[in-house]
Amino acid sequence: MTNILIIGSSGDIGCAIAQKLAFDGYQLILHYHTNEQKMTKMLQTFPEESILAIIQANLESDSSMDTFLNDIVFPVDGIVFAGGQGYIGLLQDTPYHVMDDMFMQHVKAPWKISKKFLPMMIKNRSGRIVLITSIWGELGASNEVVYSSVKGAQNSFVKALAKEVASCGVYVNGVSPGFIATKMNGHLSKEETQAIMERIPMQRAGKPSEVADAVCFLMDERTTYINGEIINVNGGWRE
């Protein structure tokens, strides 16, 4: 059996990824931060044997991240980084603590967690790391400068680490969603949502399950010549 650690499994996309991987036969170590109620509801639909552990942790500080890593007692064959949050606001109005939290969640957490489990993956000559990035990591978004920056850093992390470990049998890739129907976009008005739809060639929002399908594809052992790639799941949206 293959053990997959999912960071941010209580989010809409993280939940969809966990469900698909569970029913594909993977064993899961699920991380979440605050949404215990959603985790409990979600797990009622999973095969019982698919869940190795459920760990609550706030990954916005080094100390809590170290505690989280020490709590993982199972071997980890693959990691999916689906956690973190967005932030909307002018850069000059963005509090420093928000910048620090965004950096910890989206950049330092992938660094530290990957560093922890890479040695065993390299020893086994087998491992899969997938990051859920964002269309804004490539294009940048006004009023989302900090979010765009950390997602751009994730894209660079994928490309650089893949070059470093590809010869060791470790695969590092990203999935970059466009506009997905999640609670992260719930703040938008009907008019704002419609304006975005008009810029998407497929004329609709993506589904969390469609992002999860791309992750499952990258986790599959048959994808043996895809490394260092950012797969766009955006309905053809280009700006």
- The residues annotated with a catalytic role in the active site are 147
Classify the C-alpha dihedral 182-184-187-190 as positive or negative.
negative
CA 45 to chain centre: 21
Quote the tokens at residue 188: 């938008």
* Residues contacting 203, CB < 8 A, separation 6+: 197, 235
Report the b/e string of 179-214 with b at 16+ CB within 10 A. bbebebeeeeeeeeeeeeeeebeeeebbbbebbbeb
Are the beta carbons of 222 and 29 closer than 8 angstroms? no
